[in-house]
Amino acid sequence: MTHPFRTVAVIGAGTIGLSWTALFAAHGLTVRVSDPRPDLPEAVAEALAAFGPHLATQGLDTEGLADRVHLAADVTEAVRDADIVQENGPERIEFKKELFAQLVRETPGHALLLSSSSAIPATAFTTHLEGADRVLIGHPFNPPHLLPLVEVVPGERTGEEAVQAAVDFYTAVGRTPVVERREMPGFVGNRLQSALNREAVHLVQQGVVTPEDLDTVVTHSLGIRWATVGPFLGGHLGGGPGGYRHITEHIGKSMQQMTLGEPSQDPEDQERVIQAVEKAYASTPYTDLAEARDRRQLAVLSALEDIRQNENQHQHKNRNEKEN
């Protein structure tokens, strides 16, 4: 696992795979892409053209981006000399079992085998796999060329060297890896997202709020807060000088009395929610909505980076003053 990262194989060129491709290429890596989709050349070209400006705002050199991306005829060709494999295939255990068995056979022995799986832990498809010590989850949030988080989740048989290599790799391409030491379906990010989404659907089904108004509630309160602090730090600050202990002993008691809802699984109830969301958003083309989302996310990330740089400069100035 001490080999340098030069060549990445991206297996699966859907939304996530195309985003990874652009990010890896923007960091100067050679990227080989494999996907059976017949429009692969057009899809890759469109993704690089669309994502290039996003990557440029991150200070990356996007000149010659397409020159570093190569379309492979099949998985074997894509992974033959790969240092890293980033798999983005279907969320099906049997598919991943077959694919990762192939990857172990056909990749160099030092290659790190990563899965973008959204919910399936690595152990589920590597239990009897020879070479499972270099397989683990590298789960991003969509789109990974913008959102920094990557959940690094080792399986039961993943080696520690592979975990550290994954952390080093994702750090090298400007992501923020977080190692999760216990496998849970959905990992951490999607479990949190799922909990919020379940309550959101329940509230819409109960007629409490419309989908667009619920989105407004989140984007004008929790979304802003969570872009700057997480739930635990937010709670600690919410407790005032008494911190997290104070808010747990006081407001926490009343919050514990609140019973969260369980959305109805009745097909008619689910259809009403789908139609309500479509009424709110389906009249606007998907590409327009995605571009607006990405512009806003870039603005948030840029603002946070400016703040971090100012804080670092302030801390550096204070250290110099103390030393002098």
CATH number at residue 68: 3.40.50.720
Flag whether 184 is in a domain: no
Give me the domain span that covers residue 316: 285-324
- pLDDT for 315 equals 82
- Rounded CA separation 162/113 (Å): 9
Pair (43, 56) in one structural domain: yes
Here the tokens at position 292 are: 């607006």
Residue 230 lies in a domain: yes
Q: Residue 108: inside a domain, yes or no?
A: yes
pLDDT tier at 255, thresholds 50, 70, 90: confident
Q: Do 299 and 236 belong to one domain? A: no
Alpha helix segments (H runs only) across 58-129: 75-79, 93-106, 123-126
Asked if 72 and 137 sit in the same domain, the reply is: yes
Residues 91 and 225 in one domain: no
pLDDT of residue 79: 98
> What is the three-class DSSP state of 119?
coil
Q: Where is the domain boundary, 156, 179, 202?
A: 179
Q: Based on the domain organization, do 166 and 197 belong to the same domain?
A: no
Summarised one tens digit per residue, pLDDT across range 99-122 is 999 999 999 999 999 999 999 999
Number of domains the chain contains: 3
pLDDT score of 236: 94
* Rounded mean pLDDT, 197-218: 98
Provide the token pair at 256. Answer: 């514990």
Q: What is the mean pLDDT of residues 204-223?
A: 97
The verdict on 193 and 77 lying in the same domain is: no
Residue 174 sits in the same domain as residue 195: no
Residue recorded with tokens 């010659």: 64
Shared domain check, 151 and 219? no
Confidence of residue 2 (pLDDT cuts 50, 70, 90): low
Q: With respect to residue 160, please indicate whether it lies within any of the assigned structural domains.
A: yes
β-partners of residue 137 are 115, 153
Is 2 a member of any domain?
Answer: no
Distance from C-alpha of 170 to C-alpha of 133, rounded to nearest angstrom? 18
Cβ of 254: how many Cβ atoms within 10 Å?
A: 8
Query: Where in 4-162 does DSSP place strands (E)?
Result: 7-11, 30-34, 69-71, 84-87, 112-115, 135-140, 149-154
What value, to the nearest 5°, has the Cα angle with vertex 121 and ends 115 and 123? 100
DSSP notation for 224-251: HHHTTS-HHHHHHHHTGGGHHHHHHHTH
Residue 127: pLDDT band by 50, 70, 90 thresholds?
Answer: very high
In terms of domains, do 60 and 133 share one? yes
273 touches 205 (CB < 8 A) = yes
Contact of 121 with 93, CB cutoff 8 Å: no
pLDDT digits (tens, 9 = 90+) for 274-322: 999 999 999 999 999 999 999 999 999 999 988 988 888 888 777 777 7
Asked, for residue 172, whether it belongs to a domain, the answer is yes
Q: Are residues 210 and 324 in the same domain?
A: no
Backbone angles phi, psi at 229, to 5 degrees: -140, 150
Distances (CA, A) of 48 to 20, 22, 109, 205, 242: 10, 6, 30, 40, 50
Task: Show which of 179, 211, 227 is a domain's final residue.
Answer: 179
Confidence of residue 258 (pLDDT cuts 50, 70, 90): confident
Residue 1 lies in a domain: no
Domain boundary among the residues 157, 179, 201 is at 179
Stretch 168-190: mean pLDDT: 97
Give percent above pLDDT 90 in the chain: 87
- Report if residue 215 sits inside a domain: yes
Shared domain for 199 and 151, answered yes or no, is no
Residue 296 and residue 273 in one domain: no
Contact in structure between 138 and 121 (CB atoms under 8 Å) = no
